[in-house]
Amino acid sequence: MSAYKSEFLRVLAERGFIHQVSEPDQLDARARAGVITGYIGFDCTAASLHVGSLLPIMMLHWMQRTGHRPIVLMGGGTTRVGDPSGKDESRRILTDAAIGENLRAIRGIFDKFLTFGDGPRDAVMANNADWLNSLNYIDFLRDVGRHFSINRMLAFDSVKTRLERQQELSFLEFNYMILQAYDFVELHERHGCHLQMGGSDQWGNIINGIELGRRMLGAQLFALTSPLITTSSGAKMGKTAAGAVWLDADLLSPYAYWQYWRNTEDGDVERFLRLFTVLSIDDIARLAALRGQEINEAKKTLASEATALVHGRDAAAAAETAARQTFEEGVFARALPSVEIALADLEKGLGVLAAFSEKAGLVASNSEARRQVKAGGLKVNDTTVTDEKMILGPRHVTQDGVIKLSLGRKRHMLIKPV
RNA sequence: GGGGGAGUGUCCCGAGCGGCAAAGGGGGCGGACUGUAAAUCCGCUGGCUAUGCCUUCGUAGGUUCGAGUCCUACCUCCCCCA
């Protein structure tokens, strides 16, 4: 790890955010001399960001924290094209309406990590649809296209792998890198942006932007990429039973989010504390020194800190309490995720299978519920379900006024009669 | 334009003499063991009002008692020739 002099690069480096930097010495000097403006692009292919996007968001956060100005670039325009990097197939083309909806849904998350405004260090939200949608094709070819060499573009990994594997690469996708490069130039002109950050897979795209900026404007631009984060057992981050680990509380409850981090593998705890919390390096070192069973304390801290960033302190504390009551004290935790059911329906009797699948959504179908009963994976009020024909009724409501359903040891739901 | 090959369980890869809800992996879920970890072992992995019924093998037809498997057309992809 080289010794950066600017706080910005030093913090990113010591926390493990840096994979590659272009001309690190010059960037370092600039960061020390004044405010740098840098951006990261986010595409709008889904209705919420997931933990995979958390790393870039944290980079922007630290950027602002260390005195610089972050730009969040929403890919309203580029999402219409689709990034071919790392994809073995063309992406589904989304409708403009869908992109617009996704974009609106995603924006909110950034408020939790960045301070937006008009001040010199306030974060800026940009959308490349603002300039890409109105491009004139011929003008664009003459002004921008002339700076791109097909020979060189063909050598880029994202293109090369597709060609080597003889997979279709549409002209549409082929243009993605040009548009992304152009974004950098546009942001430089509009906001004086000098730095583009992103995942390591974006290195080539970012360098294209730097090249284009040099040729079109004679500007000196910089690239900074973060490593690809996988768990120590090699899996990509952000996948669980229920699917992606969304940052939106409507798609994944704060409790489930907390649980995701609580279940971090031992070998990842320290790294994740540095990347996904804002605890000081000293605090992290202390937590990372814990061994054996004690490392669970570090995991709890990781979970609460990470949850607090996304969902707020209160939600994190509630999740922690619910987890402690559920796992350590074996009592009912009212803060577990819950669904309501009409009391009248409950009085009529509710089959266990339907309760787990249709009501609680813990399993995908009645058949799945049936299988779980066979495997001993379902519990009602902490008692294993042995009869798939069991009927839940008012008598199953505990003194806390709920029925607790569990799938395995870790996933719990409360049914509340109303 | 001509010749050849391929598309399989909506997570992925991949076997499949005309009797197939379809081998085997990976992944995932559950169980055991643990520390709500990893590793390991075991089970499960299309749906339903369930000893049966329904929907699945690129799409649409056809042959057959019966088709993923044979025939025809179409779509998509790949290879060779031009």
What pLDDT does A100 receive?
82
Nearest nt to the CA of A362 via C1' is B29
**What is the spatial distance, in angstroms and rounded to an integer, between the CA atom of A42 and the C1' atom of B6?**
37
What pLDDT does A231 receive?
67
Residue A189 burial (CB count, 10 A) = 14
The answer to whether A104 CB is within 7 Å of strand B is: no
Q: How far apart are CA A363 and CA A347, in angstroms?
A: 23
Instruction: State how far the alpha carbon of A158 is from the alpha carbons of A95, A234, A261, A273, in Å.
Output: 24, 22, 32, 31
The answer to whether A166 CB is within 7 Å of strand B is: yes
The answer to whether A301 CB is within 7 Å of strand B is: no
Residue A13 burial (CB count, 10 A) = 16
**What is the spatial distance, in angstroms and rounded to an integer, between the CA atom of A183 and the C1' atom of B50?**
58
User: What is the ipTM score, two decimals?
Assistant: 0.84
Nearest nt to the CA of A406 via C1' is B30
The answer to whether A244 CB is within 7 Å of strand B is: no
Q: A223 pairs with which residues across the strands?
A: A196
Nearest nt to the CA of A319 via C1' is B36
Both structure tokens of A165: 């594997």
The answer to whether A238 CB is within 7 Å of strand B is: no
Which residue stretches of chain A have pLDDT < 70?
Answer: 1-2, 82-95, 157-158, 160-170, 231-244, 332-334
**What is the spatial distance, in angstroms and rounded to an integer, between the CA atom of A363 and the C1' atom of B55?**
20
Q: Which nucleotides of B are covered by protein (CB under 7 A)?
A: 27-32, 34-39, 43-50, 77-79
Q: How far apart are CA A217 and CA A394, in angstroms?
A: 73
What pLDDT does A87 receive?
41
**What is the spatial distance, in angstroms and rounded to an integer, between the CA atom of A88 and the C1' atom of B13?**
14
Nearest nt to the CA of A166 via C1' is B78
For residue A300, give the amino acid letter.
K
A331-363: b (≥16 Cβ within 10 Å) or e: ebbebbbbeebeeeebeeebbbbebbbebbebb
The answer to whether A236 CB is within 7 Å of strand B is: no
Residue A366 burial (CB count, 10 A) = 16
Nearest nt to the CA of A235 via C1' is B27
**What is the spatial distance, in angstroms and rounded to an integer, between the CA atom of A367 and the C1' atom of B48?**
9
**What is the spatial distance, in angstroms and rounded to an integer, between the CA atom of A83 and the C1' atom of B58?**
26
What pLDDT does A162 receive?
62
The answer to whether A240 CB is within 7 Å of strand B is: yes
Nearest nt to the CA of A167 via C1' is B77
What pLDDT does A94 receive?
64
Instruction: State how far the alpha carbon of A94 is from the alpha carbons of A43, A51, A112, A148, in Å.
Output: 11, 22, 27, 27
**What is the spatial distance, in angstroms and rounded to an integer, between the CA atom of A316 and the C1' atom of B61?**
60
pLDDT in tens, A308-354: 999 999 999 999 999 998 888 777 666 788 888 999 889 988 899 99
